Amino acid sequence: MLELKIFLNQSTKRNRKTPIYKQVYEAIRTAILDGQLKAGTKLPSTRFISKDLKISRNTVMNAFDQLIAEGYLITRSGSGTFVANQLPDDLLEARKFFHRAKSKSESLRITSKRSELVLQSPDAFGSDSVKARAFKTGFSAIDEFPLELWIRNFSKCMRKMPRVNLDYGNTKGYMPLRRAIAAYLGSLRGVRCAAEQVLIVSGSQQGMDLAMRILLDEGDEALIEDPGYLGARGAFLGTGINPVPIPIDSEGIDINEFDKRSKNARAVYVTPSHQFPTGVVMSLSRRLEILEWADRNSAWVIEDDYDSEFRYDGRPLAALQGLDNNNRVIYIGTFSKILFPSIRLGYLIVPQDLIEKFESALALTTAHSSQFEQIALAEFINQGHFSSHIRRMRGIYAKRQKCLIDAINTELNEFLEVKKDNAGMHIVAWLKKGWNDRKVAEFVLENGIYVAPISHYCISEKIRDSLLLGYTGISQTEIERNIVRLKTILQNYPENN
Ligand SMILES: Cc1ncc(COP(=O)(O)O)c(C=O)c1O
């Protein structure tokens, strides 16, 4: 009894985030699993514990009730509460594992090699270490998003929605949204598809995962851009695909390297509208060469068209998908950049003969993305709000980019060299000779500003040390203020670092 009291006192050091009954529950459960409380041991009364721990008796009773319901404790009328004699099988299993995990520092549960690879594949540089928005890449202007309009539209849709929409929806997505996307892509991106070919997914990330699992077998090779998007590389590793890095030249992914680096690649992942992160726009001749390569090798082209809406000068080149006559392209788009990332909606355009396979795979993963957002988004597009939002954002982003480039040229020209980019949401700034981008970025991050080193996105290529600066997620005033701060930081950068 005394031991339990000490144990409870130690384990229930008040942690404000967890309800107290839960803390008492955890303390007793841990003591049982850990063997400190043996089967058949009588527990002190709830009155005694509540007095001793200076908590209400109800709180202790709640903890006891849960432990009884889960089979850890039993009550014997008139005699009190005891640790169950017969612990359920799964409890004993948990207990074995608990002991093993505690006796060694690492878990001995065996997981797949893929899970190790996923763990090793890097996140965006310093992704969880900085709160500052300046100068994170790929952040949309949430400050400019017409939230009131979105809420009004959402409520209107929910009010008039038939109750049947509370049921499971169509796995491939809400049909009016699929029609709206097909129409939008047809007129603005040169994508050729019927609404049937549009599959709604939870962002491009799910689209890439799905595409790899449907199109390739474990151990197959897929060509990826180097430097390139880490999310794609991670998705490939996670599905057991072997990503083969291919360098970028002035026309996009270097097709001359394809056969040298992989004899039997089954797919290539590309960002032709605006290569991530270099910003290179893939030339028309390179696009045609890639389609030819895919056809010759019976390989797939995964086209990630993540930020093509933000083109500031000239007309965007049409999507690769629209040039493909052999049904080799899987086109992936997202609403994360145009609207806001937490909406978690994106889409895949797949060849007719693959619809069924993708649908089955979707059914076994998310079943479908939340129907409410899909309904509201379809209406938002059909009412014309979507295209006017894109037009407005394009204007704002063009100004933010100009503001950033002007500020760098005025304040930071001894450290950074930049030039205008006709598209996208970030710029690449080349660093002063001799400076290592990763070390500079780490130093800048320690001082509260985020700049990503391009080398973080390289696998085997070594390219000129440079920093990526996102400009879409912050106002012009913030851009100017933070460039002045960055100047002070760089002036204090230890040269021989
Ligand atoms: C190249 C690329 N593709 C796709 C995405 C968007 O992914 P999601 O739709 O999963 O938010 C990003 C976001 O940063 C990106 O940089």
Q: State whether the beta carbon of 203 lies less than 6 angstroms from ligand 1.
A: yes
Ligand 1: which of 136, 201, 248, 334 to mutate, judged by most atoms within 8 Å of the beta carbon?
A: 334
Whether residues 176 and 298 share a domain: the answer is: yes
Q: Rounded CA gap, 130 and 405, in Å?
A: 23
Ligand 1: which of 310, 330, 337 to mutate, judged by most atoms within 8 Å of the beta carbon?
A: 337
* Tokens linked to 168: 């499971």
Q: Rounded CA gap, 133 and 332, in Å?
A: 26
Taking CB atoms within 8 Å and a gap of at least 24, the contacts of 255-260 are: 255/286, 255/289, 255/290, 255/293, 258/223, 258/293
Q: Rounded CA gap, 37 and 207, in Å?
A: 49
**Does the residue 47 lie in any domain?**
yes
pLDDT band at 92 (very low <50, low <70, confident <90, very high): low
**Does the residue 69 lie in any domain?**
yes
Whether residues 165 and 97 share a domain: the answer is: no
Residue that wins the pLDDT comparison between 40 and 392:
392
What DSSP string describes 395-436? HHHHHHHHHHHHHHHHH-TTTEE----SBSSEEEEEEPTT--
**Integer-rounded Cα radius of gyration of the chain:** 28
Ligand 1: which of 229, 308, 339 to mutate, judged by most atoms within 8 Å of the beta carbon?
A: 229
CB 457 within 8 A of CB 277: yes
Domain range for 70 is: 2-103
461 has a pLDDT exceeding 80: yes
Q: Rounded CA gap, 490 and 244, in Å?
A: 36
pLDDT band at 21 (very low <50, low <70, confident <90, very high): confident
Whether residues 49 and 179 share a domain: the answer is: no
Whether residues 67 and 170 share a domain: the answer is: no
Provide the 10 A C-beta neighbour count for residue 24.
26
Nearest residue (CA) to ligand 1, atom 15: 306
Whether residues 341 and 268 share a domain: the answer is: yes
pLDDT band at 2 (very low <50, low <70, confident <90, very high): very low
Task: For residue 335, give the ligand 1 atom closest to its CA.
Answer: 9
**Does the residue 301 lie in any domain?**
yes
Whether residues 171 and 99 share a domain: the answer is: no
Task: For residue 205, give the ligand 1 atom closest to its CA.
Answer: 10
Whether residues 89 and 235 share a domain: the answer is: no
Poorest-pLDDT segment among 111-115, 139-143, 182-186, 339-343 = 111-115
**Does the residue 255 lie in any domain?**
yes
Last residue of a domain, one of 385, 411, 429: 385
* Biggest CA pair distance of the chain: 86
Task: For residue 304, give the ligand 1 atom closest to its CA.
Answer: 3
pLDDT band at 33 (very low <50, low <70, confident <90, very high): confident
Last residue of a domain, one of 385, 402, 434: 385
Name residue 307's amino acid.
D
**Does the residue 468 lie in any domain?**
no
Adjacency order of strands within the sheet including 221-226: 198-201, 346-349, 329-334, 300-304, 267-270, 221-226, 242-249, 252-253
| Residue 485: its H or E element | helix 476-491
Last residue of a domain, one of 385, 414, 431: 385
Give the model confidence (pLDDT) of 419-449 as tens digits. 999 999 999 999 999 999 999 999 999 999 9
Whether residues 85 and 187 share a domain: the answer is: no
pLDDT band at 18 (very low <50, low <70, confident <90, very high): confident
DSSP state of 45: P
Nearest residue (CA) to ligand 1, atom 14: 138
- Say whether the peptide bond before residue 44 is cis (omega within 30 degrees of 0): no
Which residues, at least 6 apart from 427, have a Cβ–Cβ distance to it below 8 Å?
279, 401, 404, 405, 418, 419, 420, 421, 468, 469, 471
The CATH number of the domain holding residue 70 is: 1.10.10.10
Q: What is the pLDDT of residue 1?
A: 44
Q: State whether the beta carbon of 269 lies less than 6 angstroms from ligand 1.
A: no
Ligand 1: distance of its center to the CA of 231 in Å? 7
Ligand 1: which of 306, 307, 308, 472 to mutate, judged by most atoms within 8 Å of the beta carbon?
A: 306
Whether residues 228 and 341 share a domain: the answer is: yes
CB 422 within 8 A of CB 314: yes
Q: What is the pLDDT of residue 129?
A: 58
Nearest residue (CA) to ligand 1, atom 6: 204
Q: Rounded CA gap, 402 and 412, in Å?
A: 15
Per the document, the length of the chain is: 497
The CATH number of the domain holding residue 295 is: 3.40.640.10
Q: What does the pLDDT average to over 293-310?
A: 96
Q: State whether the beta carbon of 278 lies less than 6 angstroms from ligand 1.
A: no
Q: Rounded CA gap, 374 and 26, in Å?
A: 40
CA angle 236, 238, 239 (to 5 degrees): 70
Phi and psi, residue 56, nearest 5°? -70, 155
**Does the residue 34 lie in any domain?**
yes
486 has a pLDDT exceeding 80: yes
Q: Rounded CA gap, 201 and 203, in Å?
A: 6
Whether residues 269 and 166 share a domain: the answer is: yes
| Number of structural domains in the chain | 2
**Does the residue 414 lie in any domain?**
no
Whether residues 171 and 282 share a domain: the answer is: yes
Q: State whether the beta carbon of 138 lies less than 6 angstroms from ligand 1.
A: yes
Q: Rounded CA gap, 339 and 318, in Å?
A: 21
Q: What is the pLDDT of residue 318?
A: 86
Q: What does the pLDDT average to over 302-309?
A: 94
**Does the residue 469 lie in any domain?**
no
Could you identify the residue written with the tokens 């109750």? 163
